[in-house]
Amino acid sequence: MRTSLVVIWVLAGLGACLGVAVATQSQDPTKDQEAPLVRINVSIRKDQVIPLEAQKLPADFGAKSFLHVKSLVAFGPRYSGKPGWSKQLDYIEAHLKKLGIASKRDTWTDRRELMTFTNISATIPGKRKERILLACHHDTKCTTGHPDKKHNFHFVGANDGASAVALLLELAPILQKRSNEATIELVFFDGEESLDWNWNEAARALFGSKRYLKRHRDALLLGEEPRIEAMVLLDMVGRDDLHIQEELYSTDLMRRICWSAAVATKNQKHFFVRAEAAADDHKPFLDVGIPAVDLIDLNGNPTWHTPYDTIERMSPDSIQKVAEVVLTMLPAIEQAYFKKANFK
Ligand SMILES: [Zn+2]
């Protein structure tokens, strides 16, 4: 993904590291035909906290997730065509199958890139057929064949890829036991990473989420699929020095729910200290009006797309914290989008 340039940094003083970032309001799409559909929002007001009940997970949740991270990292690079890519797909499917959760593979070949991608999705039933998506990307950045030699190195994507896959795999049995208002769909997107080293406006990135959404829209028109009411995207959730930024494309209310869950679980110091827009797999959903939030640790992350994104720079505790925030968000998302609660 890529960060936006439309950000003003406010440094907290001499010697400060990156401080609170404030985004400017982007151009008004009604005034500029070239403007993107989704604007960069301003930060939420942190004093407007929705009172939520903190949801705790078993104390070993993070440690169990970490075992998945280790297994996935041991597969090596995991982008299309690499042995680790196939092994990871099998691993995700096998784990879900063991839990008794049927998963679906959607495999296609991109005509322009002549590359094969695979999304995996799995549903956990709720009282309603309409869905809340919990999603991540499973591919790792390709770090070979780039013209600039410094972009070519061995990359295992412990955080950027494996951490969120692991979190969702470990959250699945918890969600199975939960009384879900909506159907919950776990989605593991392929091809999030840009094939070019640089983002280039996602021209060669977000393959899986774009594909998923196109298929969903077709199915929705034919009445073959229930609606998606909200989406929570997880990306890089296991770094030892965890910081989930306030991602400014994300829907205001979804960000407010995320912040309120961080407050409820006493994780404020790891959430929304910094704010910046980041284009990611939630963007295609936002573009068609589906409320979404990206829980991403990109801003100020020194290991991002470097050889140092390894297990040594990760912490089980970070995965545990993010998972508890996600679980705490769920009742509020259900309230907001299924029971039409009006949060003050
Ligand atoms: Zn990445």
What tens digit of pLDDT does each residue of 215-235 get? 999 999 999 999 999 999 999
Residue at 144 is within a domain: yes
Residue 141 Cα, ligand 1 centroid: separation in angstroms? 6
Residue 10 Cα, ligand 1 centroid: separation in angstroms? 26
CB atoms within 10 A of CB 36: 16
Residue at 33 is within a domain: no
Residue at 175 is within a domain: yes
Residue 31 Cα, ligand 1 centroid: separation in angstroms? 33
Residue 298 Cα, ligand 1 centroid: separation in angstroms? 9
CATH classification at residue 260: 3.40.630.10
Residue at 6 is within a domain: no
58 pLDDT higher than 60: yes
The per-residue pLDDT for 343 is 82
Residue 127 Cα, ligand 1 centroid: separation in angstroms? 35
pTM of the complete model: 0.90
Q: List, for residues 5-51, the tens digit of each pLDDT value.
A: 444 333 322 222 222 233 333 333 333 444 456 789 999 999 999 99
Helix, strand or coil, per DSSP, at residue 151: helix
Average pLDDT, rounded, for the chain: 90
118 pLDDT higher than 70: yes
Residue 55 Cα, ligand 1 centroid: separation in angstroms? 29
Residue 224 Cα, ligand 1 centroid: separation in angstroms? 33
Nearest-angstrom CA–CA distance, 159 and 297: 9
Helices (H), the chain: 61-74, 83-98, 164-177, 207-221, 252-264, 283-287, 316-337
Residue 46 Cα, ligand 1 centroid: separation in angstroms? 28
Residue at 31 is within a domain: no
Read off the pLDDT band of 3 (50, 70, 90). low
Q: Please give the tally of structural domains in the chain.
A: 1
Residue 181 Cα, ligand 1 centroid: separation in angstroms? 32
Residue 30 Cα, ligand 1 centroid: separation in angstroms? 32
Residue 20 Cα, ligand 1 centroid: separation in angstroms? 23
Give the mean model confidence (pLDDT) for residues 132-142. 98
Residue 222 Cα, ligand 1 centroid: separation in angstroms? 34
Give the mean model confidence (pLDDT) for residues 87-107. 98
Residue 195 Cα, ligand 1 centroid: separation in angstroms? 11
Considering the chain, what percentage of its residues have pLDDT values greater than 70?
89
Helix, strand or coil, per DSSP, at residue 327: helix
The per-residue pLDDT for 146 is 95
Nearest-angstrom CA–CA distance, 82 and 193: 15
Give the mean model confidence (pLDDT) for residues 164-187. 98
Residue 304 Cα, ligand 1 centroid: separation in angstroms? 7
Residue 305 Cα, ligand 1 centroid: separation in angstroms? 6
Instruction: Return the structure tokens found at 50.
Output: 């929705």
Residue 1 Cα, ligand 1 centroid: separation in angstroms? 6
Measured CA to CA in angstroms, residue 193 lies from 108, 189, 233, 235 at distances of 17, 10, 15, 11
Residue at 16 is within a domain: no
- Asked if residue 326 lies in contact with residue 295, where contact means CB atoms within 8 angstroms, the answer is yes
Residue at 213 is within a domain: yes
The per-residue pLDDT for 18 is 26
The per-residue pLDDT for 344 is 72
- Asked if residue 185 lies in contact with residue 133, where contact means CB atoms within 8 angstroms, the answer is yes
Residue 216 Cα, ligand 1 centroid: separation in angstroms? 25
Residue 160 Cα, ligand 1 centroid: separation in angstroms? 5
Residue 136 Cα, ligand 1 centroid: separation in angstroms? 11
Residue at 4 is within a domain: no
Nearest-angstrom CA–CA distance, 157 and 309: 6
Q: Which domain holds residue 283?
A: 42-337
Q: How does 232-246 read in b/e, with b if 16+ C-beta sit within 10 Å?
A: bbbbbbbbeebbbbb
The per-residue pLDDT for 39 is 83
Give the mean model confidence (pLDDT) for residues 156-169. 98
The per-residue pLDDT for 341 is 79
Q: List, for residues 265-316, the tens digit of each pLDDT value.
A: 999 999 999 999 999 999 999 999 999 999 999 999 999 999 999 999 999 9
